[in-house]
Amino acid sequence: MLDIQSLRTNLPFVAERLALRGVTLDTAAFEALEAERKRLQVHTQDLQARRNTLSKQIGMLKGKGEDASAVMTEVAGLGDALKVGEAALAELMPRFDAFLELIPNLPHESVPVGKDETGNVEVLRWGTPRAIAAPRDHVDLGTALGGLDFEAGVKISGARFTVMKGRIARLHRALTQFMLDLHTLTQFMLDLHTGEHGYTEVYTPYLVNPESMFGTGQLPKFEEDLFMVPRSDGGKLYLIPTAEVPVTNLVRGEILAGDSLPLKFVAHTPCFRSEAGSYGKDTRGMIRQHQFDKVELVQMVRPDQSWEALEQLTGHAEAVLQKLELPYRKVALCTGDMGFSAAKTYDLEVWLPAQNTYREISSCSNFESFQARRMQARFRNEKNKPELLHTLNGSGLAVGRTLVAVLENYQNEDGSITVPAVLRPWMGGAEKISAA
RNA sequence: GGAGGGGUGGCAGAGUGGUCGAAUGUACCUGACUCGAAAUCAGGCGAUGUCGCAAGGCAUCCGUGGGUUCGAAUCCCACCCCCUCCGCCA
C-alpha cells in the first residue's frame, strides 16, 4: 500500500510513476474521494467533539448534584446529525481503502522503463553453457530414468502435478530438505543460507488466513491465483503461493526494537499456485506446476539499508547457482513487468539447454514499505518512534526448476545424469544417476 | 468436543458507567550527581487519523464486531485468541 500522504501531496508524481508500470491512476476519482472524506470527517469529528464536551459537563453537574437536564436536552439534539455523519463515513472509508489497496507499488528510480518483459535488462551472465549435442529435456531424461511420472500426477490430481520417484525424488530432496534424512540438497541450500549468509531457518504454516495474504499483497487483487480452503465455520484459509507470505507476516502488527534489525529468515515450503490465466504456457514438464518446493529468503531491514540488502540477498540466491555450477543470468525487471508489491526486482534465469534459453528460477525484490504498511510492521527508530520497516524476499531457489536445470545441464549422452559435485554428500556419494 | 479462567500502553499490572488515554511499577529519553559508570534524585515518555503556515487543537483506539446510554475499558450480544483440567488424536 502506498502512503496516503504521497497521494495527497504529490498526486501527479505518483500517477506519473504508476504510468511507467502501465497503470493509469484515476486521479479525478481520488480527488473526489478525498474531498468527500475530508468534508465528512471534519464535520463528523466536530459533532463528536461537541457531544464529548457536553457529556463531560453532564458528568460534572451530576457529580456536584446539580441539575443537568438542560445540557442533556442540548446533546440529545446532536444525535441524529451525528448518526448520519458516522454512517456516511463508515460507508465511505472502505471505498477509500479499497481504492488505495488496489494501487501497486511505485517503481524505484533505478528500474528500467519498459512495457513488458521485452523491456527487461540483463545485468550479468555467469558461467558458460556446456555444448550438448541434441540436448534432451528433463521430461525425456526424467521419464527414461524412471524418476519423473507425469501421468501419475495427472491421475492422482490433474494437470500440472507431478510424481517423482527413486533417485530423482532423492535428488529433489537433496535439493530441498534440511534435516529429514542424513543428507539432502536443500540441506545444502539451507546450510549455505543459515551457515554462510546469516539467515534463521523457520518452519511455517502452509495454510494462512486472509489477513496474511493481504499483508504481502496477494489479496485482495490476486485471489484467483490462490487455492482457497473453506473452513466449516465459514472462514477461509489459503494455501501459500510462496513462503514469503507466512514468513513476512511474522512481523505483522509488531513494533520491533531498532537493534533487532535486520531480520533474515530462510524457509523451505511447498508452494501452491492455481496458475489462472496461463493455461497454454509451459504445459510440458515441471516448469509450471500447481505445487512446487521453494527455499525462500526473507529480510526485514531499516529503510536506509534496503537497497544494499537487495543486492546482498540476490547475491545469496546467485551463490546457490554458482555452487551448483549452473549457468545463469541476472535480469533487472522493467517497470511494466514487475509484480504488484515490488519497488524493484531482479530475476535470476538459469540456462536450460533443451529450451536453448534462460528461464526464471529466482525472483528477488525490495518492497520498501509497501508490505510493511499493509502489515503495520514497524521498528523503533533513533527518536524512539515507530517507523515502517522495509521488507525483501527472493527465491534461493525454486527447487523444482533447479531439479530441471540439473537434469538438463548435467545430462550425458547415454541419458544418465552426473550429480553435481557439491550435491554428492547428500546423495550418498553417488556421482551419477543412470537407468537401473 | 466438555468445564473453568483470561485478553488493558514496549513489558508487568490496577481500573466494574462520568473530570480515564487510562494508576503504579518497569523499560526508554533528558537533566542533576560522578573522572566515568552503576545506584540515587528530578522531569519527560502510547498509537493511529485528521485540521492547521505554525503553535497547537480535535477524533478514534483497553482482543474483534455489534448493541444499550447524554456518556462505555467498565453493562448486554456474537465471534476470535490464549491458559488450566477432562476427553479424543498424529
- Cβ–Cβ < 8 Å for A292, A270: yes
User: What is the DSSP pairing of strand A200-201 with strand A263-272?
Assistant: parallel
Is strand B within 7 Å of residue A69 (CB)? no
- Choose among A348, A361, A406: nearest CA to A173: A406
What was the pLDDT predicted at A182? 26
- Cβ–Cβ < 8 Å for A389, A306: no
Return the SS3 of A163: strand
Cell representation of residue A106: 511505485
What was the pLDDT predicted at A127? 95
- A191 or A411: which carries more pLDDT confidence? A411
Q: Look at phi and psi of residue A351 and say left if phi exceeds 0, alpha if psi is from -120 to 50, else beta.
A: beta
Sheet with A121-126, strands from edge to edge, namely A121-126, A328-332, A344-352, A357-368, A390-398, A291-301, A263-272, A200-201
What is the C-alpha to C-alpha distance for residues A245 and A249, in angstroms, rounded to an integer?
6
Strand B, nucleotides < 7 Å from a protein CB: these are 10, 18-19, 28-29, 47-51, 58-60, 66, 70-71, 79-80
A262-304 pLDDT, tens digit per residue, is 888 888 999 999 987 777 788 888 999 999 999 999 999 999 8
Asked whether the predicted pLDDT for residue A183 surpasses 50, the reply is no
The pair phi, psi for residue A143, each rounded to 5°, is -70, -45
Is strand B within 7 Å of residue A9 (CB)? no
Nucleotide nearest to A3 (CA to C1'): B49
For residue A82, the 8-state DSSP code is H
Amino acid at A4: I
- Choose among A24, A115, A121: nearest CA to A337: A115
Output the distance from A305 CA to B37 C1' rounded to whole Å. 33
Output the distance from A382 CA to B38 C1' rounded to whole Å. 24
Is strand B within 7 Å of residue A93 (CB)? no
Amino acid at A270: P
What ipTM did this prediction achieve?
A: 0.82
A98-149 pLDDT, tens digit per residue, is 888 889 999 999 999 999 999 999 999 999 999 988 999 999 999 999 999 9
pLDDT-based confidence at A180, cuts 50/70/90?
Answer: very low
Is strand B within 7 Å of residue A54 (CB)? yes
Output the distance from A79 CA to B55 C1' rounded to whole Å. 33
